[in-house]
Structures are given as structure tokens and as C-alpha cells.
Amino acid sequence: MSTAIAEAEIHETPAESGVNYLNVTYGIKSWLLTLDHKRIGLLYLGSITLMFFVGGMAAVLMRLHLVEPQGALFEPETYNKMFSTHGIIMVFFFLVPSIPATLGNFLIPLMIGARDVAFPKLNLMSWYLYITGAAFALYATLSGGVDTGWTFYPPYSSLYSHTHVVTVALGVFIAGFSSILTGLNFIVTIHKMRAPGMTWFRLPLFIWAMYATSLIFVLGTPVIAITLFLLGMERILHVGIFDPSVGGDPLLFQHLFWFYSHPAVYIMILPGMGVVSELITAFSRKKIFGYAFVAFSSLSIAIISFIVWGHHMFVTGQSIYAGLVFSVLSFLVAIPSAVKVFNWTATLYKGSISYEAPMLYALGFIGLFTIGGLTGLFLAALATDVHLNGTYFIVAHFHYVMVGGAVMAYMGGLHFWWPKITGRLYPDLWARIAAAIIFIGFNLTFFPQFVLGYLGMPRRYAIYPSEFQVLNVMSSAGASILGIGYIIPLIYFIWSMRYGPPAGPNPWGAKGLEWTTQSPPLTENFETIPIVTEDAYNYPSEGAHV
């Protein structure tokens, strides 16, 4: 064990007695103008939680509507606005910033032994950009909504839709700069701010995942920004960029859109993979199996993700050769994901496994991500993609990855680091119950959708043939269970902020620099910058009881 870490543990002060980043200053202004990465992380936490429940509300209403084939609640126009709002808010304002902007912001400096991110002012500015973008999106939703789907395909979005396309696109455009600046900040922080002795191969895998994610932020987001800019111009000025009647090409939009939006899928899942690597090791008290493989698979996923976008366009009439190339590349991206799953599973081998709530989420993640990933093969395969593209199979597949993967990991991470963030514990029994409810509700919601898709039910249908009703009702029933599952943590987290028992610096007995400081940490994280002398996850081997 490193002397520096041992020393840090001696200096631990109970959260209640001392100063920490939460109580060092008071007042709204001290939060809105804060440069502390931890407070900025909490600002994000609050704002994305709001967005999550707005997007979730839309999802619940959609599922209620779909219990009847003719639609139980809305006119088709309203339903279309529901799924568009759901998609736009969940993708651009919840999933993309979720883990990076909250947990990433909070943890990166703590994990690498730095006082803050490299550019704290830029960090605060990123939050303001996010809030501005979110405000545009919410304003558009409240003032009549948008009905293009989150994909904004022209010429529908540019010439035919009568809804607030430009406002929403502007919101996404602005929020995109928040992502870019966050990614930039993280890259520089990880490169330049590591504590002495914190070499690249001693970094926690969460940091590797955040690094890979940041690369995508920096390389992908500008492209969607310019794409939405072109779309907005086309819509306002009718200049014809995506209008085939004057020589424009609507498919160009799709190419540019997916050039960002496929990597964006990995923006959502890579941080989740990072979180799960932390959780699995902490709750098995064991080194990760195949550190280098897990680390490099993150990078290779990030890189390959930029050259697979064409698999979203197999049925648009792209040439057979383009289809073949994108198909083989899409199969290729499955392999590093498989490597990760195997390594996580192998990490459990000879571990000392305990089942607190974060671990349940992590194990749920592995299972659901496995299904989500494998069903991706159906869509990388050209012949089956032709049948499944645009159906509920797609919806089920990406929800297994996005909700079963990214959101599960986000919830797991939140439960894992909550004691560090707030200095307090939450009721573990309730947390486990909620995790189980979410797992069951999730599967009941989305598994029937695989079948629906194979049967041929297209997505984005407000009204559907009655033979699909049974499966739709099952899915809707699952959604209401899932909704309850998400509300329980909201309640006990809020409860724990005031009434939760003090957590102490390291309630899980986990490794990692963030657990060597007090909970909640000081404003600049460490009293003295630690010196790192050991690998990540250096748990004592069996027999060495702590």
C-alpha cells in the first residue's frame, strides 16, 4: 500500500465536523458562479434529472397511448410530438451529458489526483451552454412541440413540418458546444493534470472510458452542429441544400447526421462501461481482469464508431458495396464490446462479491448490454436489417443498449458515488428493491418490442394493426413498472441528503484516489496532492483481511 494513500487516510476528517465543498460557501450565487468541478457536476445532476423526468413523462404517455390499436389518448399529431420530444430530450439532453457531465465532472479530478479540471471557467460555461440549449428545447416543447423525430430527416423537417424545428435544432446546436467544451476540458485534464505517479496504465478504467468519450465529443459533435446549422438555414431560407427538386440531396443530411449520431451512441455507452468496470472491481474487491484489453477496447470502440454510420442507411438505397463495407465494419465494432463483457465476467472469478445496490445495477448492465449488443448483430447483418430496420426491433435494440446499458450504469454509478458526493448513505434495501423493479420493468417493456419488430410493426406509429395489441399492452405494463422503479431512487436520494447516516470516506472499502479523501471532499479535493505508487484496483489478495 502506498504511503501517500495511507497518509491521506490518516488525515481523513468526518464529513460532519469539517469544511467540505458543499458547505464552504452558501447561497444561490455561490452555486451559479462556482468553478468547483464537483459543484458543476451537481448542477448538471440537477438539470439532467429534470430533463430525464420530462423525457420519461413523454415515454409513459406514449406507452399509455399505445395500449389501444387506435390510440388511447392522443391525435397522431400529438403522439408524433411525444416521441420526438422523448427522443430529443433523452438523447441530447440526458444520455449524452449523463455520465460524463455529472459523474465525469465530479470524479475525473478526484480519480487522477488533481485539484480541479484544467479549465474550470470553461467547465462552468459548458453548463450554461447546456442550460441554454435545454431551455430552447423545453420552450419548443411547451409552445407546441416538434414532430420530426430526434433524427430531423429532411425534406420533412426542412420543408413539410409545421412545428418548432428551428428552435429545437438551435437548442441541440448550443448544447453541442457544451459537449465539445466538456470533452476538450476532460482531454486536457487527463493529459496534463494527473498526480505524480499516476501513469496512463494506473488510471482507473473510468478515466479511460471518459477519455475515449471525450475524443468522440471533440471529433463528432462539431459535425452534427454544422449539419443542424445547414438544416436550420434550409428551413429558414429555403435555399435547397436538402431539397431534391433543386438539386439538393436529402441523404447527405443522413450521412452527416449519423456520422455524429452513431458515435454518439458510444458517447452514451462508453462512460457506462467505465462505470461498470469500477463497480465490478469494487464489489468483487479484485483487480480488473485484462486491464489493457478493457482500456484499449474503449479506444478502439471510439475510433471504429466513426466509420460505421452507414449501417443506419442500409435501406436508403446506398450502393451494395457501401452496404457491404459498413456491414463488415459494424460487425467489427461488436468485438471490443464482447471483449469487455468477457473481461467483466472473468473479474468476478475468485472475487469477494457483495451485492449492494450499485453491484446489482452493474450486473444488470452486463446482462442487458449483452442482449443489446448481440441484437445489434441482427442489424449489422444486411439481410436481416432490411426486414428489421425501422421497426420496433430497432427501438428494442437501442433501448437495451441505452437504457439497459447506459442508464443502468448511470444509476449504478450514482448509487456507488452518492456517499462521496453527499457524504451520506441511502437505504440500501430500498435501493436494491428499486434496482430489481427497474430490471423487471425494463425487460417487460422492451423485450416484447423485439418480437413486435420481427413481426413487422414499424416504429413511430400512433395507430397500429390490432394483432400487435397484446405485445403492446405487455410493453406498456412494463413501462409503468419501470416508471415506478425510477421514482423510488428519486425519493430516497432526496431523503438521504438530509436524513441519511454519514457515510465516512470509504463506505464500500473501495480502491481509488476518490475514496482517500473525506466525504464530501474539500473544495480542492486533496489536502496534499497524492503520490501514486500502485496500479488501479490494487486490492489485497485473499486472506489479507483489512
Partner 1 sequence: MMGFLQSGLDSLPGVAAMMQFKPPAASSIADSVDQLYLMLTGITIFFSVLIFSIIFYFMLKYRRKSPGESGTETHTPMMLELTWTIIPSLICVVLFVWSSSLYVRNGRPPNSSTEIFVIGKQWMWHLQHPEGPREINELHVPVGVPVKITMTSQDVIHDFYIPAFRVKKDVLPGRYSQIWFQPTETGTFHLFCAQYCGTNHSQMIGWVYVMSPTDYATWLAGGEKTESMAQQGERLFSQFGCGNCHSPEAAGHAPSLAGIYGKPEKTQNGETRVVDEDLIRQAILVPNSVHLPNYQPIMPTYQGQIDEEQMLQLIAYVKSLGSEERMNGK
Partner 2 sequence: MSDLATHGAHPQGFAHQFEDIEQQRDAGRLGMWVFLVTEILFFGGMFTSYTIYRALHLESFVQGSHQLIVKFGATNTAVLILSSLTMALAIRAAQTGKKKGQIIFWLILTMILGAAFIGIKLRFEWYRDYTEGLIPGVHWFYNGPHAPGVKMFMCFYFFMTGLHAIHMVVGLGLLTVLVIMTARNKFSAEYYSPLEISGLYWHFVDIVWIFLFPLLYLIGGRY
Among positions 455-484, residues that touch partner 1 (CB under 8 A) are: 455-456, 458-467, 469-471, 473
Torsions phi, psi for 522 (to 5 deg): -70, 170
- Residue range at the interface with partner 1 (CB under 8 A); choices 41-49, 204-212, 233-241, 290-298: 290-298
Looking at the DSSP bridge assignments, the partners of residue 499 are: none
- Cα end-to-end span (Å), the chain: 12
Question: Which of positions 77-136 make contact with partner 1 (CB under 8 A)?
Answer: 77, 80
**Per-residue interface string for the shown chain with partner 1, residues 17-56, x marking contact by CB under 8 A:** ----------------------------------------
Among 56, 100, 145, 149, binds partner 1 (CB under 8 A): 149
3 state SS of 375: helix
Question: Which of positions 292-311 make contact with partner 1 (CB under 8 A)?
Answer: 293
* Minimum distance of partner 2 from residue 185's CB (angstroms): 8
**∠ CA 462-464-469, rounded to 5°:** 115
Least Cα distance to 179 among 100, 106, 269, 253 occurs for 100
Nearer of residues 218 and 325 to partner 2, judged by Cβ: 218
Q: What is the DSSP code string of 35-85? A: --HHHHHHHHHHHHHHHHHHHHHHHHHHHHHTTSTT-SS--HHHHHHHHHH
Which residue is it, cell 469487455?
A: 340
Q: What are the residues whose beta carbons fall under 8 Å from the beta carbon of 370, sequence distance 6 or more? A: 341
Question: Which of positions 105-124 make contact with partner 2 (CB under 8 A)?
Answer: 114-120
Question: Which of positions 495-524 make contact with partner 2 (CB under 8 A)?
Answer: 522-524
Nearer of residues 69 and 197 to partner 1, judged by Cβ: 69
Which residue is it, cell 452527416?
A: 256
Question: Which of positions 523-542 make contact with partner 1 (CB under 8 A)?
Answer: 539-542
Nearer of residues 123 and 449 to partner 2, judged by Cβ: 123
- Is residue 67 at the binding interface for partner 1, with CB under 8 A as the rule? yes
Question: Which of positions 247-266 make contact with partner 2 (CB under 8 A)?
Answer: 247-249, 252, 256
Cα distances from 326 to residues 220, 308, 372, in angstroms, run 18, 5, 19
Torsions phi, psi for 41 (to 5 deg): -55, -40
Torsions phi, psi for 286 (to 5 deg): -160, 150
Among 1, 32, 246, 490, binds partner 2 (CB under 8 A): 246
Do residues 198 and 112 make contact, with C-beta atoms less than 8 angstroms apart? yes
Nearer of residues 222 and 290 to partner 1, judged by Cβ: 290
d(CA 501, CA 434): 20
* Minimum distance of partner 2 from residue 215's CB (angstroms): 9
Looking at the DSSP bridge assignments, the partners of residue 391 are: 458
d(CA 204, CA 282): 11
Nearer of residues 175 and 379 to partner 2, judged by Cβ: 175
Nearer of residues 221 and 472 to partner 1, judged by Cβ: 472
Do residues 169 and 153 make contact, with C-beta atoms less than 8 angstroms apart? no
Among 390, 427, 502, 504, binds partner 1 (CB under 8 A): 390
- Is residue 180 at the binding interface for partner 2, with CB under 8 A as the rule? yes
The secondary structure of residue 205, as a DSSP letter, is: H
Among 251, 436, 477, 488, binds partner 1 (CB under 8 A): 251
CB neighbourhood size of 72 (10 A): 11
- Residue range at the interface with partner 1 (CB under 8 A); choices 15-23, 164-172, 387-395, 414-422: 387-395
- Is residue 229 at the binding interface for partner 2, with CB under 8 A as the rule? yes
* Minimum distance of partner 1 from residue 128's CB (angstroms): 33
- Is residue 166 at the binding interface for partner 2, with CB under 8 A as the rule? no
Nearer of residues 224 and 380 to partner 2, judged by Cβ: 224
d(CA 413, CA 502): 19
* Minimum distance of partner 1 from residue 217's CB (angstroms): 27
Amino acid at 506: N
Q: Is the dihedral of CA 310, 316, 322, 323 positive or negative?
A: positive
d(CA 343, CA 351): 13
Indicate which of partner 1, partner 2, none lies near residue 436 (CB less than 5 to 8 Å, by partner kind). Answer: none
Question: Which of positions 162-221 make contact with partner 1 (CB under 8 A)?
Answer: none
- Is residue 225 at the binding interface for partner 2, with CB under 8 A as the rule? yes
- Is residue 545 at the binding interface for partner 1, with CB under 8 A as the rule? yes
Compute the residue count for the chain: 546
Nearer of residues 30 and 541 to partner 1, judged by Cβ: 541
- Is residue 153 at the binding interface for partner 1, with CB under 8 A as the rule? yes
Residues of this chain that interact with partner 2 (CB under 8 A) are: 114-120, 180, 183-185, 187-189, 191-193, 218-223, 225-227, 229-230, 233, 236-241, 246-249, 252, 256, 522-524, 527, 529
